[in-house]
Each structure stands twice: as C-alpha cells, then as structure tokens.
Amino acid sequence: MNATLTLANKDKKALVSINGNSIIFHVLILLVLAGLATNFFTEYQLGGFNKYAIKHFVVFCTVFVTAVLWKLSIVRTSFVFMVIVYINILSSTVYLPFRIEDSLQNFESYFLRVEMIVFIMGLLLAVFEKPWHQFVVIGYNTLFIVACAMLVPELSVGRYILAFIIISSVAAISYFVFSKVILLQNDLNDQNTLVSKQNRELKELTNFRKDIMRIIAHDLKTPIHQLSILAEVAKSSEAPADKDNCLVLLKQSIDKTYGMLENLLEWSMQNDEALKSYMDLNIHVLVDDIRKQYTENLSHKKINLINEVDIDLQMFYSKEVFETVIRNLLTNAIKFSPQNEAIVIKGQESEDSYSLSIHNKAPGLDPSKLERINNGQAIESSRGTDNEKGSGKGLFICKRMLEKNNATLKLKAVEDGVVATILVHKSIAINGEKVVA
C-alpha cells in the first residue's frame, strides 16, 4: 500500500498513515475486488451457487459497496481499509461449521491458515489503523479457538493453546510497542511544531529588528537636518549675540538628538518584550516634547502645530512605541503640508480605548495608496511639498508596531487634508495577563 510514514497526531494515532489519493491504494481495492470475483466464479463453476459461492458473493458486494461509498466521499479511507481487513478475518472463520466433517488433517490445515490470516490482519490493523484493534482481534480469535476446541475436540488441546498464546502474545506486544512509538512520534511532532513556531518568530523578530533600524534612521533625519540648519545660521550670523544664541540652540538640539538616539538604540537591542514595557504617559506633555524636536522644520515651512490634547489625558502604554509612531506621523504631516498651514493634534478617551489624531492640510491622498497603508502594505515614497524625500516604509512599520501592542493606525482622507488616527485599546496583555490601561 502507498502509505507514508508520518508523525501521528492527536486525532489519528496511527503508526503509518494511508494515502487514499494514491494510485496504489486504488489498485489495491481493484485487486481485492478482482480476487473476490475470481473466487466467486471459480466456486460457481465447480458447485453452482453453493455456500462457498454465496460467501464470496457477499464479501464481494460488501467491499464493492464500501468502495463506492468511499469514492462518493461518504466514508473515509480508514473505514475502507478496516472493512477489507475485518472481512478477510470473518470470511475465513465463517467456514468453521462446514469444516467440522473434514478429516483431522484438513481441519488442522484450515485452522492454521485462519490463525495466519488473523495474525497478519491484526498486524495490518495495528500498523495502519490504531493499535487497540489488536485486542478486538485477540477477543475474536479467542472465541474462534474455543469454538474449534468444542466442535473438533479430536485436535490436540495443546495446538489450540499454542495458537492462542502465539497470536495473543504477538498482538499484545505489538500493541504496547506501537503505542509507545506513536507516543514518541507525537512528542517529536510537538517538538517539530514548536521549533517551526520558534523559527517563524525568530524570522519575524529579525525582520522587525531591521524595521526598527529603519525607524531609527527615519527618526534621526529630522533632528540632524535641524542641526544642519542651526549650524548654517550660526555660520552666517555676524552679531556675537546671534551666534551665541544659535550655539545654545545647537547644543540643546544635539543633546536632544543624542538622548533620542541612545533611547532608540537601547530599545532596538532589547528582545521583543521590550515593545511591551508599558508605563503611565501624559499624552499632552509627550506631544509637546516631540514638537520641540521639530521646531526648525515647522518654522521653515511656517506651519503651526496645535496641541489640543487635554493636559490631564493619561494613558498606560509603551512610551517608545508611541513616541516613534507620533514622530513618524508628524514627519509625514510636515512633509506633505503646504506652507502657512496648521497641523492639529487631538486626543480622546472612551470607555474602552484612547485615540490620538493628527490632522494635516495635505492635498488629497491617492485612494489606492490610502488603501494599501490601511491594509498594512508598504508603499512607494512620494516627494513632499518642499521636495522632501522618504522611504515609504515608515507608516508600514509603525502600523506593525502598534498591532503588536494592541493598537491600530488608520488614515482617512477628509475634505481639507488627511487625518491619521491611533486607537489604543485599554485592555492589553502583559506577560500573558490582561491589564486595563
């Protein structure tokens, strides 16, 4: 039979699985049917429609009907296999009433042939189905041996006992051996599943680390650009007071950039659980702190950033994740906003979530790009209103980070621009336990 060794699972505890779609299994059924048909016609030609011909006809019809039901997907492959095996055992033992009048030598030959069939069929059931079938076979074979001993006492009792001991011992041993092997296969299967899961998680974490490094590079572009602007202003300033003021601003900007770089690098070196290092955050203060990092960019495009978040709005969440996402959204808002416009940031709290929206006056966003962003797909970068460049992956990475931390990001095109909304659910999981933020 075309059966392939497979790791047994919890639903099917078989040592070897039967491939019902294979050509060999179809050929097996055809060979069984052909053999039964041949036996029927042979018996019919020798003695007409006698008891032996009837037996072969009944067996043929049983297997044929079962095969048809299997092809119609009414019964499973394992059921067809069990019918073929068990009907071989039954059709062999059903001859017993007709063998009583045989000579002792002929009856002994029949008895040994039946025991051999029982032995082989029991092993097939134990290997290709479930080992407990061995006990069904042992029970049935015990009844057959007892019946033989009662109906044909002329045969030595030792022969009956020997046959019982051999068949029962082999069946019992095979049951325990095969059961143990199946348990080992199940353990191996669980270990393989665990290793596969760990490999997927490792691959995902590796890709996520790469994304984090892209975020770090993305976040550092703005403050470094600010440093360049301040250095240029300091260089072109002639008045000592202006130069001193620029140097003070330059020092402050360098300190902030260094602190942000240190935090981002430290965060990126942590394991995946670092994403779940939650704390109480004041959203209004956090937005104000981030706004200070974009002072020069906002001033350059004459954009007014309005923080309308309630000063008392508190949220329990990952500071690193939230800051990174807001910086990315704010960078995009500045990038695509025309000059002399405003960016409005609002925050709300509902019964089961917090939301933060960043509304910019950017021209209408391409609907196909909007759909891709909301579906968590990366897009090609577009130039900003002042010809600013980008990678096109920032929103994609931010969306993934939020989803890892029980939050969502959605962009919506409105009449006067684009609104990016972060929705943070209050119920979050920390170390496997639910905590209400």
The reported pLDDT for the residue numbered 305 is: 92
pTM of the predicted protein model: 0.48
The number of CA neighbours under 13 Å toward the Cβ of 173 is: 7
Q: Which residues are registered as beta bridge partners of 5?
A: 16
Q: Which domains does the chain show, CATH number per domain? A: 3-196 (no CATH), 280-437 (3.30.565.10)
The reported pLDDT for the residue numbered 3 is: 38
Name residues of the chain where pLDDT drops below 50: 1-12, 271, 274-275, 431-432
- Distance between CA atoms of residues 392 and 382, nearest Å: 7
The reported pLDDT for the residue numbered 286 is: 92
- Distance between CA atoms of residues 404 and 167, nearest Å: 59
Tokens 């020092």, residue located:
251
Q: Which amino acid is at 32?
A: V
The reported pLDDT for the residue numbered 53 is: 82
Confirm if 209 and 203 have CB atoms less than 8 A apart: no
- Distance between CA atoms of residues 392 and 332, nearest Å: 10
Tens-place pLDDT, residues 331-361: 888 888 888 889 999 999 988 899 999 999 8
The reported pLDDT for the residue numbered 347 is: 93
The reported pLDDT for the residue numbered 367 is: 81
Confirm if 311 and 288 have CB atoms less than 8 A apart: no
How many residues belong to the chain?
A: 437
The reported pLDDT for the residue numbered 310 is: 92
| Secondary structure (3-state) at 304 | strand
Q: Name the token pair of 279.
A: 């704390």
